[in-house]
Structure 1
Amino acid sequence: MGVTSMLARWASKSVHVLIVGVPGWDESRMLLEAELDRRGWRVALSPADADLLAVCGLPGEVLGAASDLLWNQLPGPRTRVSVTTPVALSALLDAAVAHLVDDSWQREDARARSRPVAAEDPRPNTGEHESMSHEDMDHGDMDHGGMDMPTPGGIPLAGGGDDRDGLEMDVLNVSLGPVLPHWPAGLVVDCVLQGDVIVSAGARLLEAASAPKEVSEKAVTDVTRGRRRIIRLCDDASNLLALAGWQTAAQNARRLRDDARRGADSTDHAAALDRLRRRAERSVLLRWSLKGISLGEIGLGAGTNTGTATPDDQAAVDIRHRLIGWLREAAVLAGTSSGRQSPAAGDSDPVREAQDALEALPELLRGTDLGTARLLIAGLGLDTAALAQTHERTHD
């Protein structure tokens, strides 16, 4: 018992957290990520790697069921929290640590999990969710739900189909999301694969139960709008950099995002953003990692997070140039004394543009492999908070 307690307390100093993002609740996720960085905790890549399941926001029925399924896949010792407010977040995580090192609680949890159930859930297992990183060439895990075929043990069986050369290849139906690191909150992409190539895809959003309480529009100043834009640009840049395998730059972008949330000095903040932009422009490895990955000729706007000052029309859809454009725009915004929102972002409808981007995803992903698909989705900068507003308008 003494050894078990000692090991549990040692493990609690570096907790691995699996984050479930809910559309519209990005602020809660960012607050959690900042606190994890402060504590030296790590974001888990899959349920098997996690000690703590953190649901950021109030998920709707389908996303809540997916969260419960992920919870069932976490090995012990384990615990879970719901992050919906910045108030007492540190105390919430302290309580989670207390659960992790509570031998009696964990033993009872293990006994409850080992009890036989009356009948097996007839729904297909949605599988584990792992991230893709160019550092370890693991191109993501897949949700295996929604297939009209036998799934023994939750593992989908492959069918048959002709490839582009007319030869028969196995066809597999998989779903990416809704819980993957550096992935838009609530997004599910249902794919048909031949080998590792996506031959067709469909995209959908799992809704939140409710949106967070918004600040009155009258209380939102130009400075606030500009800061929100910087936060989002840095957040999307961090996701793309992480998936491209440049973890140091991704952490830097996330730190600059958190600095913007805290109202950092605009001059120093702008200089730091510009330094990161110059590093991204000079990086040979980043150029190689993102070489040839383009968003094609889909319509791009603020809802898809274009950034500013891209060199030409072709560069505007190249995700490396889009990344540089995001960082350039963030630096420009941070450097303005008033913090005004950029004209490109202010004169557009992010809700409409986010919906257009979602509709463009199936064609965008067709013919790509899973790793490239992850990078394309990150490079799109899909605003699922705006998509959540689209769903709210539909239901009103």
Structure 2
Amino acid sequence: MDLRALLRRTAMNRPAVLALALPGATELRPAVEAELRRRQWPVVDAPAAADLLVVCGVPAAEGADWLDAIERSMPAPAVRVVVGEGEGEAGQIALALDAAHRDLIERAVAPQPAEHAEHMEHQEHVEPMEHVHHMDHQGHDHDSHMDHMDHMDHMDHMDHGTHAMGDIAGLPMAERADDRDGLRLDRLHVPFGPGLSDWPAGLILRFALQGDVVQGVEVDHLPVPAVQRPPFWDEPWLRAAHGEEVTRGDAARRRCAAHLDSAGRLLAVAGWDDVAARCRRLRDELLAGATRTEVVGELRRTVRRVGRSRILRWSIAGLGRLPADRARAAGVTGPALAADGDAYDRLLMWLREIERGLEDLDDVRPLAPDDRSGPRGRLDGPRSPSQALLDVLPDLLTGAEFAGARIIVASLDPDLDELALAPATGSAHA
């Protein structure tokens, strides 16, 4: 083995991973994230920084060109691994990652064509390491936080917006239109998603931008498969509605885990990687059956840190303001309605519901069959909670600055798995 091959094999001992989830595979995503954290493999948010693409869920036979485009954007040797249905157990996920890791190392030490070696050398010199999420990262000051957000938004646009969608070749097309000040500016049409980290699985937004202002949004999504099991985050309530025995503690545990997952996503988009990682670790501990005593101390410290941060509040307050009367008129229920405010208010509402839910973790009383209060809202309405959240997205995003768009989306965190729920009148159906 020559020196170059040895160095590349050493570099692949901890491959950088881009992990993406498909609709219907929500249960797999936390399990994959937990296994990556156990291995201490760095998680990245752009194809250009990734060695390994981990897809949670089996792609449809057609319409997966965006995944091919992401893989082509990764520097060789690149490996894609699909973690599919039936592989939700930690052992099965570990086996899938082990096989992909072996494949990656074999490709890394294989002789490379001259032009490919030149390309790889260029990649190694210019790779933007800002994309790597360091698990032990400690806080951000104001300037570094804003620089991070600007850089991330730009790279997400280039790596995932135009390239991952596959329906626009090269740069987005532009047209002239009047902006809000009456000036004639280029209007760019930019697709966003579905191949983004910390992004609702399968969501596609098509922005019309003038300068840095969102002028309009079209909401679309990948097909949501009809599955036998109810959506993962809503499962306890829907099982109880169908006559199964579910305890109040089971429902409280799933609600807390769902809100920790949502809070971790919002905090990651806002640049608070260390607190986001802490939320996800607590989420995984709850899903694994941790008791209230085991998590209450760290959870309360996390809540206090988030609540006391003026920088965090300054960076997301005012974004995506959704008053309660407007939310109610749009059919929004759950935390987004109760928050009666902006992205920051919705984050605090999640944290308050987590603290309340901890008191019920050990409650063995049965969950009432008519309790349909899922983590994102009522499950017995004419629309699923997440459909209502998707419906208000265009109004919340239109007129906002593009840099804040991802924060607004993350603060609502719609679960597209819920779109498979049939409309219910008086009863919930999976």
TM-score grouping bracket, smaller chain normalisation: 0.7 to 0.9
Offset at residue 353 of structure 1 (A): 2.1
- 2:251 and 2:280 map into 1 onto residues whose CA distance is 19
Partner of 1:138: 151
Greater Cα offset, 236-245 or 318-327: 318-327
Contact 1:188 1:206 (C-alpha < 8 Å) held by counterparts: yes
- Return closer, same or farther for 1:103/1:359 CA change in 2, 3 Å cut-off: closer
Does residue 59 in structure 1 map to residue 62 in structure 2? no
- 2:132 and 2:180 map into 1 onto residues whose CA distance is 29
Offset at residue 224 of structure 1 (A): 2.3
- Return closer, same or farther for 1:10/1:190 CA change in 2, 3 Å cut-off: same
- Return closer, same or farther for 1:103/1:83 CA change in 2, 3 Å cut-off: closer
- Return closer, same or farther for 1:94/1:144 CA change in 2, 3 Å cut-off: same
Alpha-carbon deviations, 1:55-113, whole Å to 9, x = none? 101233565221122122221111111112224211211111111111488558x79x9
Contact 1:58 1:209 (C-alpha < 8 Å) held by counterparts: no
Partner of 1:234: 260
- 1:303 and 1:80 map into 2 onto residues whose CA distance is 38
Does residue 338 in structure 1 map to residue 363 in structure 2? yes
Alpha-carbon deviations, 1:120-175, whole Å to 9, x = none? xxxxxxxxxx89974522242232378998x5xx1223221111222210111111
Partner of 1:89: 93
Code of the aligned partner of 1:284:
R
Offset at residue 199 of structure 1 (A): 0.2
Does residue 203 in structure 1 map to residue 219 in structure 2? yes
Greater Cα offset, 177-186 or 209-218: 209-218
Offset at residue 260 of structure 1 (A): 0.7
- Residue number among 258, 263, 274 corresponding to 1:248 in the alignment: 274
Alpha-carbon deviations, 1:32-67, whole Å to 9, x = none? 111111111122221111111111012335652211
- Return closer, same or farther for 1:251/1:147 CA change in 2, 3 Å cut-off: closer
Offset at residue 302 of structure 1 (A): 11
- 1:147 and 1:15 map into 2 onto residues whose CA distance is 26
Partner of 2:195: 179
- 1:381 and 1:170 map into 2 onto residues whose CA distance is 30
Does residue 320 in structure 1 map to residue 350 in structure 2? no
Code of the aligned partner of 1:381:
D
Does residue 221 in structure 1 map to residue 247 in structure 2? yes
Offset at residue 194 of structure 1 (A): 0.5
- Return closer, same or farther for 1:235/1:104 CA change in 2, 3 Å cut-off: closer
Alpha-carbon deviations, 1:276-320, whole Å to 9, x = none? 111111111111111322332342699775179x6xxxx532221
Greater Cα offset, 376-385 or 131-140: 131-140
The secondary structure found in structure 1 opposite 2:191 is strand
Code of the aligned partner of 1:272:
E
- Residue number among 98, 102, 108 corresponding to 1:98 in the alignment: 102
- 2:272 and 2:17 map into 1 onto residues whose CA distance is 21
- 1:89 and 1:99 map into 2 onto residues whose CA distance is 16
- 2:56 and 2:98 map into 1 onto residues whose CA distance is 17
Alpha-carbon deviations, 1:179-217, whole Å to 9, x = none? 111110000001111112110001111124553755892
Does residue 349 in structure 1 map to residue 379 in structure 2? yes
- Return closer, same or farther for 1:249/1:344 CA change in 2, 3 Å cut-off: farther
Does residue 295 in structure 1 map to residue 335 in structure 2? no
- 1:388 and 1:278 map into 2 onto residues whose CA distance is 37
Greater Cα offset, 38-47 or 250-259: 38-47
- 2:264 and 2:33 map into 1 onto residues whose CA distance is 12
Alpha-carbon deviations, 1:201-259, whole Å to 9, x = none? 01111124553755892254333222221111000000111111111111110111011
Partner of 1:374: 406
Offset at residue 273 of structure 1 (A): 2.0
Partner of 1:189: 205
User: What's the C-alpha RMSD, in Å, of the aligned pairs?
Assistant: 3.4
Greater Cα offset, 42-51 or 341-350: 341-350
Offset at residue 8 of structure 1 (A): 2.5
- Return closer, same or farther for 1:8/1:147 CA change in 2, 3 Å cut-off: closer
Alpha-carbon deviations, 1:337-387, whole Å to 9, x = none? 317879783582275221111111111100112221100000012122212
Partner of 1:162: 178
- Return closer, same or farther for 1:360/1:70 CA change in 2, 3 Å cut-off: same
- 1:15 and 1:198 map into 2 onto residues whose CA distance is 36
**How does the TM-score come out when normalised to structure 1?**
0.82
The secondary structure found in structure 2 opposite 1:101 is helix
Code of the aligned partner of 2:345:
H
Partner of 1:73: 73
Partner of 2:283: 257
Does residue 329 in structure 1 map to residue 333 in structure 2? no
Q: Which structure 1 segments of 5+ residues have no match?
A: 115-129
Contact 1:305 1:381 (C-alpha < 8 Å) held by counterparts: no
- 1:247 and 1:213 map into 2 onto residues whose CA distance is 32
Does residue 2 in structure 1 map to residue 2 in structure 2? yes
- Matched length: 368
- Return closer, same or farther for 1:206/1:134 CA change in 2, 3 Å cut-off: farther
Offset at residue 331 of structure 1 (A): 2.1
Aligned-residue identity in percent? 34
Contact 1:304 1:354 (C-alpha < 8 Å) held by counterparts: no
The secondary structure found in structure 2 opposite 1:264 is coil
